[in-house]
Amino acid sequence: MHIAYPTIATLVVFISSVAGSESLTSTVSDQAKALIASSYDYNVGYEIIESLTTEVGPRQAGSEAEERARRWGIGKLEQLGFSNVRIEPFDVEFWQRRSERAEIIAPFPQALAITSLGGSVGTPADGVHGEVARFSTLQALQDAPAEGLKGKIVFVDELMTRTQDGSGYGVAVAKRSGAANEAGKRGAVAALIRSVGTDHHRFPHTGQMIYNTDGAKVPIAALAAPDADQLQRALSRGTVEVKLELDVQSMGQRTSGNVLGEIPGSGDEIILIGAHLDSWDLGTGAIDDGAGIGITVAAAKLILDMKKIPKRTIRVVMFGSEEVGLIGAQAYAKRHLDELDLHIIGTESDFGAGKIWRLDSRVAQSQRHKISAIHKILQPLGISLGDNQASGGPDMGPMRKLGMPVVSLKQNGWDYFDFHHTADDTLDKINRADITQNVAAYAAFIWMVANMPGDFRVTKSQSDNATTPSQKD
């Protein structure tokens, strides 16, 4: 068996190579190159981000502001000339932050910069207070005995690793739900975490947490990195007492929705691209995910302006309520289940505004040569060819799990978690030239997959066996 392998491998390479040469016509690749060339001074991506973050600003899932964002989305897609522009509504639980405050009350009285995690219960109006019990990692808290934390405030002080591909996030984010659930089990009155972030500014990072169905629900907030340091220094001198006042609440079901627009193709098949429209409430959602909205809509607009009918319909989706658990993506998959086989490939832009440096895919291995052919066109943009383990972006998750092939046009995420889910996620963090590079890559990619022959289908077993993507995108 060992000896037979090289022969088969050689054969596969040979077939792939032949298929590759057939996958992309010179007409389509020339059109893709022309799209890249025409994007050089194309500023529409940035203009869309500017418009959304200015005219709507923060747009939390289920809020009145998210409704305004949908109206903005409809107006923008119609104005740009997209077809079949519509809202597909669904319900979502709306969680509201009203005020929040924390302080060291002894031995060194001073305020701490914190923010509640989304979904947290509030404290009583006069707050909760208790002695702080610090754990350097979530694992250390999980390993702690069941007793000894009654009445205390648990503090999980785990640091996040800065990486280009965001792989530090998957590890660090576990404490968001984990800290409150472990604290609740052990009788603690509240939980604090060092923010899931990589910056050293005084911005706490919010983000969704989910309670276990069976445990006590204790309030949880994130400390800004300088405040986690400060608490650590105070604790190194002895016992520290902290007070926490969180006026936050789950307000029940509200209407949310996905906004869709299309460039109709000559056939029934669909290319799915998107980003998410909602943001956290603290910033104006420029990098998360105004950037993705700007990049994908501008890329499709660049194609619209070619005035050529693609073979496949290009469907742009602005997903609602991503931040609170991919609610819009699940609603999309449910509503479009009968179209599943028509979805040829999908991709989402939701990892900020950095340059794209890598093209990953998740397609049938037998179709991987088409990704290589596509990559050759994108390579001049500074994009390398990655692996076949792409997530496709969070909102592609439900459709990917049903078998839809995906790619990830992976952005440089080196500083993404400096701003992610903070008040500091604002337009000034966006570099116009980087947005232009993203738009060029998306436009060329979309045009190629919308017009090249054949399918990218992943076999069912490959989909099930796939490694869970470890990074956010």
Residue choice 230, 389, 462, 470 for contact with a copy of itself (CB under 8 A): 230
Amino acid in position 163: T
Q: Distances in Å between the alpha carbon of 17 and those of 13, 277, 372, 453?
A: 6, 40, 10, 15
| Separation of alpha carbons 118 and 96, rounded Å | 8
Residue choice 33, 162, 202, 254 for contact with a copy of itself (CB under 8 A): 202
287 belongs to the binding site for a copy of itself (CB under 8 A) = no
* Residues 59 to 78 in contact with a copy of itself, rule: CB under 8 A: 65
470 belongs to the binding site for a copy of itself (CB under 8 A) = no
387 belongs to the binding site for a copy of itself (CB under 8 A) = no
CB-based burial label for 377 (10 Å; 0-12, 13-18, 19+): buried
For the CB of residue 9, give the shortest distance to a copy of itself in the complex, in Å: 52
Residue choice 424, 441, 445, 447 for contact with a copy of itself (CB under 8 A): 424
* Residues 115 to 174 in contact with a copy of itself, rule: CB under 8 A: none
| Separation of alpha carbons 201 and 419, rounded Å | 10
- State which residue, 31 or 422, has the beta carbon closest to a copy of itself: 422
Residue choice 74, 80, 113, 409 for contact with a copy of itself (CB under 8 A): 113
- State which residue, 360 or 418, has the beta carbon closest to a copy of itself: 418
For the CB of residue 444, give the shortest distance to a copy of itself in the complex, in Å: 31
Residue choice 12, 33, 38, 57 for contact with a copy of itself (CB under 8 A): 57
* Residues 305 to 344 in contact with a copy of itself, rule: CB under 8 A: none
56 belongs to the binding site for a copy of itself (CB under 8 A) = yes
54 belongs to the binding site for a copy of itself (CB under 8 A) = yes
For the CB of residue 433, give the shortest distance to a copy of itself in the complex, in Å: 17
Residue choice 287, 427, 452, 458 for contact with a copy of itself (CB under 8 A): 427
The first and second tokens of residue 368, run together, are 């991987």
Write the interaction track for a copy of itself spanning residues 79-108; mark x where CB under 8 A is met and - where it is not. -------------------------x---x
Residue choice 426, 463, 470, 471 for contact with a copy of itself (CB under 8 A): 426
Residues 6 or more apart whose Cβ sits within 8 Å of residue 30: none
| Separation of alpha carbons 465 and 247, rounded Å | 43
- State which residue, 54 or 84, has the beta carbon closest to a copy of itself: 54
For the CB of residue 104, give the shortest distance to a copy of itself in the complex, in Å: 8
| Separation of alpha carbons 305 and 313, rounded Å | 15
- State which residue, 104 or 331, has the beta carbon closest to a copy of itself: 104
Length of the chain: 473
- State which residue, 58 or 168, has the beta carbon closest to a copy of itself: 58
For the CB of residue 163, give the shortest distance to a copy of itself in the complex, in Å: 21
Residue choice 22, 30, 55, 464 for contact with a copy of itself (CB under 8 A): 55
Region of 4-12, 48-56, 317-325, 327-335 interacting with a copy of itself (CB under 8 A): 48-56
Amino acid in position 458: V
Q: Which positions touch a copy of itself (CB under 8 A)?
A: 50, 53-58, 65, 104, 108-111, 113, 200-203, 225-226, 229-230, 233-234, 237, 283-284, 422-424, 426-428
